[in-house]
Amino acid sequence: MSSEEIMEISLLEQTLQILSDCSDLTNQHFPLHQVDLVYFNYLVRSESLRNDILNLLNQPEVTMVAILSKSSFKQKLQANEIVHDILNGSIAIFYNHKAYLYEAYAPESRSIESSETESVISGPMDSFTESLSTNLSLIRRRIKDPSLKVLSFTIGSKTGTSLNLLYLEGVADSSHVQQLSEMIKKLDIPVINETNILVQYLSPSKYSVAPQILTSVRPDLIINKLASGKIVGLLDGSQAAFSTPTSFVEFFMSPDDYYQPWAVASAVRILRLIALFITLSFTAFYVSLVTYHYEMIPPSLLLNLMESRSRVPFSPLIEAIFMEMTIELLREAGARLPTKIGTTIGTVGGIVIGQAAVQAGVTSNILIISVAISAIASFAIPSYIMSASIRLMRFGIILLAGLFGNFGLAFGLGWLVVQLSSLHMFGLSYMAPFAPSQPSRWLDLVIRAPIHLVAKLKKPSHHPDK
């Protein structure tokens, strides 16, 4: 046996050795043509395997030279390359001491369904899935333009996860695309399997409470972001897509705003911003008034408040923190339980605990109202991640209000604005169009102007804060 034959035979042995103890690996030998197939059955398309390979191998009159001469078969010379392709859904064909790879990647994936995390009032009901090819098709079906570019990356030294960056050439800022590509290439992480983990690595400020990159499972929202000059990322195995650069006010926008009359959509957007202020400050304002500023309470309301608090043994601060934590516990319990049980637990638990707490003298009924209004206001924020961040910020503002009164409340809100204004992505301000002020962009970000004006405003603004 020649040295060349030994080397080529060892190529198959090396491949099987690297993939040893993998009981799910399929290794088939066909003595008719002296061919070995190595692949993972659940990663390959069964029709391609059967029609393009197995059926041909079972026909004596068909030669391997004719089969392998097709352009779909690529020769590989290194065992590590062969193993990499097998793990990515290719079929390895070992013949005549050589290795050829046939790409047939088609893992099982769920069908396209409506989103359970981002409700749809009107508009398309479909949402992304965990299949990268399916998600790309949902976008390509909506944007039939050659200017839609796709850049491919592989991240995660252990997972080897595929990541695609999408942008509209001539609309998105090319320098932003280059900067984001460099950030992704520099990532050195072993495991990455979810978009919401990836955006934490890409966020410019790693310690900020507020999310700095928008994620969504709705294709129509992602299409709007692409048309606005944003860069979109799709990660294989994750349902969510991300969009960057992102401003704070974008987390309070919903695709449904564009499917409604402009007056209704504008009113809803303004209502969401009011809900933001309510959920941040309503309970904190109650604590501040009851603790330090009784003179600001109307006399008729003050009598009811004093009567309600007459049996409460705790300070307003402890009382408020206790009730806010109870609401958060109910919210978390409802989210982790099955949908029907979770809804029942949240509703019944809130009513029973609230009524029992008032009757037991643990809290006042007015605080129950304040906490309930704050919780309801947080539900008006379309982004779940932003809503959770706002609720966490609320605890800090309540603590400052309980310690320093209205001064602490004003200081907490002011510090929050300063901290958010200091965030930047690609040199763009996180608080745009408020800081720096850009009144022209308010027509699409703060309110939703008539659709013909919005279409004129849908132009890229590469450096709005310069």
Strands 35-40 and 90-95: antiparallel
Which residues of the chain are modeled with pLDDT < 50?
1-8, 460-466
The confidence score (pLDDT) of residue 5 equals 44
Q: Domain span at residue 94?
A: 3-103
Predicted pLDDT of residue 175: 94
pLDDT of the residue at 287? 93
Domain check: are 192 and 224 in the same one? yes
Residue 164 bridge partners (DSSP): 152, 234
> What per-residue confidence (pLDDT) applies to 359?
76
Judgement on whether residues 264 and 357 belong to the same structural domain of the protein: yes
369: which residues sit within 8 A by CB, 6+ positions away?
Answer: none
| 203 assigned to some structural domain | yes
66 and 136, same domain (yes or no): no
- 95 and 28 co-located in one domain: yes
Instruction: Name the one residue in this structure whose structure tokens are 């003050």.
Output: 302
CB neighbours of 366 closer than 8 A, spacing ≥ 6?
Answer: 286, 304, 305, 308
462 inside domain: no
pLDDT at residue 38, as a whole number: 92
170 in the same domain as 29:
no
Q: What is the reported pLDDT for 464?
A: 40
What's the pLDDT score for residue 459? 55
Write phi, then psi, for 121 (nearest 5 degrees). Answer: -85, -50
Which residue in this structure is represented by tokens 């800081």? 435
Instruction: Kindly state the tokens that stand for 457.
Output: 């405003």
In a domain, 118, yes or no: no
Helices (H), 293-338: 299-309, 316-336
